[in-house]
């Protein structure tokens, strides 16, 4: 029960799964969330976290996020770290992007971070400690054509993190933003072929997870409010 507890969204695959493995290695108990329960079960197996809890959830829905945080508190008695890895990144021009799709991108990438912080903040206040790691993207400052919604959502995420870090300082809460470039994930390969972007130019999800782990554990505690860009030099 002395081990810290972490909540990870988007944990069914990619950066979220790699983060679960990294945090478990660092001694964190895990509450993992995504829409796919089978993928979550596999994540807990790979992380070697039999005491972890899988919470199928749609993070664009506030009620699901509240349930996720509540489940973690009920299981572990505390929440020390929240990592928001869930993302949605359709590659469409402005005129091709539907209104509902625009809102889905903003809700998944940006609004969900607010929902998570809002749900966890009372826990952090009671503990007088906590950390939030939000996964942004290099697209927040240099989006490819067709990523208007995604780039805007990630840029908003970074500003939200800065404001949250300033608010959290009073109660011992750190808020970090990790913004990777191209990462070898299923989501990335749905958008870009190996011919368009060779694998040797992408990051491994574990590369990003290691930085997230440093933020979660406090190794990078002085970067609260900052954006940590992680990418290969092209």
Catalytic machinery residues: 150
Sorted by sequence, the CB contacts under 8 Å of residue 95 that are 6+ apart come out as: none
Which residues face 183 on adjacent strands? 203
Read out DSSP for 79-92? --EEEE--------
Strand 29-34 vs strand 5-9: parallel, antiparallel, or unpaired?
parallel
Which of these, 230, 192, 190, 224, lies nearest to 210 by C-alpha position? Answer: 230
Strand boundaries in 140-204, DSSP class E? 173-180
DSSP H or E run through 63? helix 62-76
In 3-state terms the chain splits into helix, strand, coil percentages (rounded to 5) of 50, 15, 30
Residues in the chain, total: 234
Contact by Cβ (8 Å): 81, 7: yes
């Amino acid at each position: 029960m002395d081990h810290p507890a972490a909540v990870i969204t988007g944990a069914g695959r990619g950066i979220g799964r790699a983060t679960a493995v990294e945090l478990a290695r660092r001694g964190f108990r895990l509450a993992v969330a995504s829409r796919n329960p089978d993928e979550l079960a596999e994540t807990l197996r790979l992380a070697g976290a039999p005491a972890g809890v899988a919470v199928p959830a749609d993070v664009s829905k506030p009620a699901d996020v509240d349930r996720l945080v509540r489940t973690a508190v009920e299981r572990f008695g505390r929440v020390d770290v929240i990592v928001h890895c869930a993302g949605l990144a359709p590659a469409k021009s402005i005129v091709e992007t539907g209104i509902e799709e625009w809102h889905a991108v903003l809700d998944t990438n940006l609004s969900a971070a607010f929902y998570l912080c809002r749900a966890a903040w009372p826990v952090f206040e009671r503990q007088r400690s906590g950390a939030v790691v939000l996964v942004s993207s290099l697209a927040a400052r240099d989006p490819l054509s067709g990523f208007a919604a995604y780039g805007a959502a990630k840029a908003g995420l970074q500003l939200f993190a800065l404001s949250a870090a300033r608010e959290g300082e009073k109660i011992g809460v750190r808020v970090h933003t990790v913004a990777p470039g191209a990462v070898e994930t299923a989501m990335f390969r749905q958008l870009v072929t190996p011919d368009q972007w060779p694998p040797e130019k992408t990051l491994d999800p574990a590369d990003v997870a290691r930085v997230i782990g440093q933020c979660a554990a406090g190794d990078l505690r002085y970067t609260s409010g900052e954006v940590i860009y992680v990418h290969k030099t092209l």
